[in-house]
């Protein structure tokens, strides 16, 4: 009798786990879309050549629950200082990353990396460089604001060109 009860209990447990796994596999993922405008504050040696930058981006992501895989396309124009012989720098990133929502989808953390096309007045063609970033933000009624630290390798810089980005925009989940 004891063996029979254990077999029935085990079969019920397997059935419950299989039922949960089946419903989880067919659960519809969420889609996240949005866009931001940004003010970019150059940091370190990069600030010696550029005053500030302004730009924008669009993003889309897919995920379950509170974690999203997000792709981002953007553009920023960094305005050169007077002693900068390279002129303005155009930065066009293509990134993929993770966005993790916390606290009822109101606060989020974001990290991404990718490729940026960079061009200034001394270049005949744009250069392709590695770029990465990390940030945090808040989202309320579709509006979002975030603080982001972005890094890329500019052509005329020793090391990485870093900027703190202040972003404001919108996003929605479908």
Render pLDDT for 160-171 as a digit per residue (tens, 0 to 9). Answer: 899 999 999 999
Least confident residue range of 8-22, 35-49, 60-74:
8-22
Q: Is the pLDDT of residue 156 over 80?
A: no
pLDDT grade, residue 94 (50/70/90)? very high
pTM of the model as a whole: 0.81
Of the candidates 165, 170, 168, the one whose C-alpha atom is nearest the C-alpha of residue 39 is 165
The CA distance from 116 to 43, in Å, is: 18
Q: Which domains occur in the chain, in start order?
A: 30-173 (2.40.160.20)
In this predicted model, what pLDDT tens digit does every residue of 1-40 receive, in sequence order? 555 555 555 555 565 555 554 555 567 899 999 999 999 9
The pLDDT score that the predictor gives to residue 91 is: 95
């Amino acid at each position: 009798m004891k063996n029979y009860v254990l077999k029935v209990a085990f079969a019920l447990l397997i059935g419950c786990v299989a039922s949960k796994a089946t419903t989880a596999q067919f659960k519809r993922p969420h889609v996240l879309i949005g866009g931001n405008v940004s003010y970019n504050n150059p940091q370190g040696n990069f600030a010696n050549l550029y005053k500030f930058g302004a730009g924008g981006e669009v993003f889309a992501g897919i995920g379950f629950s509170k974690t999203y895989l997000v792709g981002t396309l953007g553009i920023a124009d960094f305005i050169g200082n007077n002693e900068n012989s390279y002129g303005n720098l155009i930065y066009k990133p293509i990134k993929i990353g993770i966005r993790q929502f916390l606290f009822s989808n109101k606060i989020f953390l974001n990290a991404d990396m990718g490729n940026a096309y960079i061009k200034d007045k001394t270049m005949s063609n744009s250069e392709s460089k590695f770029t990465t970033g990390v940030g945090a933000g808040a989202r309320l009624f579709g509006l979002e604001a975030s603080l982001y630290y972005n890094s890329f390798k500019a052509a005329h810089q020793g090391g990485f060109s870093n900027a703190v980005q202040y972003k404001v925009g919108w996003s929605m989940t479908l």
